[in-house]
Amino acid sequence: MRIAILAAGLTAVVGLSACGPAKDETAANAPAAPKYVGRSQTMYQGQELISKVDSGTISVGKNGALEMTVNGSVPAPGYKNPGFLKRILYAVPKDGIYEMDVVADKPAGGTSAPTPIEVKGAWDHPNDGVKGVRFISKDNSVVAMLPAK
């Protein structure tokens, strides 16, 4: 009787092992999640990351502020108050690239249709040693470097 139970258990284990891919195979096929240095600030109610960043530029303004412009897309028309939220860093980035979340206020409702958006803003008192800014959205990030002096 004991041999019959062990044989049935072995058959069940072998049968179940062929049902799906192993966790190692699934993990190897999945893209690695991006690793960012900082963490997001608390967003206001209704505010969220834009869907995608297509391009970004930065330049030093007349008063020393960092002028930032991003072109991207949101999932639906009607997003308002686009802007930037500087990520909270625990240390100065070694590569001089700081991180900004690109956010906008989500509309109450509407149809789902990818819509282009342009976000402009300024970082009034940038830290010393800023070489570039990584603009972060839900799906991707883009790094914009300062022009060489």
What is the torsional sign of CA 112, 114, 115, 119? positive
Residues 6+ apart with CB under 8 A from 76: 107, 110, 111, 112, 113, 115
Secondary structure class of 16 (helix, strand, coil): helix
User: Which pLDDT does position 52 carry in this prediction?
Assistant: 96
Secondary structure element (H or E) that encloses residue 133, with its range: strand 132-136
* Total H helices, total E strands in the chain: 2, 8
Whether the model clears a pTM of 0.95, i.e. scores above it, the answer is: no
User: Which pLDDT does position 131 carry in this prediction?
Assistant: 94
Secondary structure class of 2 (helix, strand, coil): helix
The whole-angstrom separation of Cα 59 and Cα 56 is 11
From first to last of the 149 residues of the chain, give the pLDDT tens digit: 667 676 666 666 666 666 655 555 544 565 665 677 777 777 778 899 999 999 999 999 888 899 999 999 999 999 999 999 999 988 889 999 999 999 999 998 778 889 999 999 999 988 888 999 999 999 999 999 998 76
Going by DSSP bridges, is the β-strand pair 97-105/132-136 parallel, antiparallel, or unpaired? parallel
